[in-house]
Homo-oligomer: A and B are copies of this chain.
């Protein structure tokens, strides 16, 4: 498994030691091609569906119509990302199939290691897994996060057809469940000294562009009291939002990830400020409350600085609970391996949230050193990677055997 992990890390390798494999770019497609070739050479059946998802399949010896237990993750990365995010889960899934194949075990389900298209959202986000779940909408393809042009160019390069993506949908009855191994991308497992994270659910998120509008004025001639400083209003909002979340919403996060001032010069009081706000909560009701509290703070900041305010929703996903039966299977598999576990919520989005709508789904996390992710410095100790793959194998067998 180590050799395969290292081989994958060569695709889109960056000077800093990470990888850059944006969805359906050259490096991503090369990594996917390697995955198919490696699977074929190991004697596995392979498949590429209408959404470009790449799979290696180990059929059940008992029935050609046996349902499929999907083991997945993704080979795309954010630009200048790390080696572990996604790739670890795909390599581990492949090696679960190889272990079962080698053992000659006769399961009542087919095992499928699947590399989903465009998890990271440099194009759309969860494109492949939503296509499989049947929830990919025409709307998300019309105005994708990465821009319409990039999407069309990627589809073309990958030989995919927009109007056929939805054909990747699977009948829920054809699925026996979904399991994903992934790095945590946060610091909690490391802080708590736990080896295996049993993911209870995936947070919901909302994002807004908040536009504060004041009056651009000469910074030398406009007294402090005569200003309608949009940048100051935005800064006051950022400070207040942080304080409200830290005080009233434990377990939630809110982030001002970007802030653009216009005209943006040393000697001009900013006339407008555009704030990129994102908030996340594991609970749907709390997510509503958090949104309402933060938009309230934005309104207050605008009022106090005599500014106009527009709040433009730019993204939203609901919290997802993961299957209690699958969580129990992961806990038992870890216990059998002598690995310590911690139940935790995923603060990041994953393909599992798409699959959870159509089949019993679960996720296994392994620790991220210092919680670093989406960066070349992303690292998981190799023994933790192996622990994760072992737990994935144990949980998959438990689900396959109906334990």
Q: Of B231, B232, B280, which is within 8 A of A220 by CB? A: B280
Check: A358 CB closer than 8 A to any chain B CB.
Answer: no
Do A231 and B259 have beta carbons less than 8 Å apart?
A: yes
Q: How far is the CA of A220 from the CA of B199 in the complex (A)?
A: 14
Do B264 and A372 have beta carbons less than 8 Å apart?
A: no
For A315, the closest partner residue in chain B by CB is B266
Do A226 and B256 have beta carbons less than 8 Å apart?
A: no
Q: Distance (Å) between the CB of A183 and the closest chain B CB?
A: 10
Docked complex: A149-169 residues within 8 A CB-CB of B: none
Check: A267 CB closer than 8 A to any chain B CB.
Answer: yes
Q: Distance (Å) between the CB of A80 and the closest chain B CB?
A: 9
Q: How far is the CA of A277 from the CA of B346 in the complex (A)?
A: 39
Do A371 and B221 have beta carbons less than 8 Å apart?
A: yes
Chain B residues near A194: list those with CB within 8 A.
none
Do A373 and B221 have beta carbons less than 8 Å apart?
A: yes
Q: How far is the CA of A238 from the CA of B185 in the complex (A)?
A: 31
Check: A347 CB closer than 8 A to any chain B CB.
Answer: yes
For A249, the closest partner residue in chain B by CB is B224
Given A226-B371, A231-B238; A218-B256 close (CB under 8 Å): no
Q: How far is the CA of A347 from the CA of B258 in the complex (A)?
A: 31
Check: A219 CB closer than 8 A to any chain B CB.
Answer: yes
Given A186-B223, A220-B203, A239-B239; A276-B280 close (CB under 8 Å): no
Q: How far is the CA of A246 from the CA of B305 in the complex (A)?
A: 14
Do A258 and B266 have beta carbons less than 8 Å apart?
A: yes
Check: A184 CB closer than 8 A to any chain B CB.
Answer: yes
Check: A278 CB closer than 8 A to any chain B CB.
Answer: yes
Check: A245 CB closer than 8 A to any chain B CB.
Answer: yes
Task: Give the size range of A's interface with the partner.
Answer: 35 or more
Do A259 and B261 have beta carbons less than 8 Å apart?
A: yes
Q: How far is the CA of A239 from the CA of B315 in the complex (A)?
A: 29
Do A266 and B222 have beta carbons less than 8 Å apart?
A: no
Chain B residues near A193: list those with CB within 8 A.
none
Do A256 and B231 have beta carbons less than 8 Å apart?
A: yes
Do A235 and B256 have beta carbons less than 8 Å apart?
A: yes
Q: Distance (Å) between the CB of A212 and the closest chain B CB?
A: 12
Given A253-B220, A266-B276, A280-B220; A238-B246 close (CB under 8 Å): no
Do B259 and A265 have beta carbons less than 8 Å apart?
A: no
Do A216 and B256 have beta carbons less than 8 Å apart?
A: no
Check: A268 CB closer than 8 A to any chain B CB.
Answer: yes
Q: How far is the CA of A234 from the CA of B216 in the complex (A)?
A: 20
Check: A225 CB closer than 8 A to any chain B CB.
Answer: yes
Q: How far is the CA of A10 from the CA of B402 in the complex (A)?
A: 84
Check: A236 CB closer than 8 A to any chain B CB.
Answer: yes
Check: A207 CB closer than 8 A to any chain B CB.
Answer: yes
Q: Of B203, B235, B258, which is within 8 A of A238 by CB? A: B235
Check: A270 CB closer than 8 A to any chain B CB.
Answer: yes
Do B245 and A231 have beta carbons less than 8 Å apart?
A: no
Check: A255 CB closer than 8 A to any chain B CB.
Answer: yes
Chain B residues near A257: list those with CB within 8 A.
219, 231, 261, 264-270
7 closest Cβ pairs, A-B complex = A186-B221, A220-B347, A235-B238, A235-B235, A219-B255, A221-B347, A258-B264
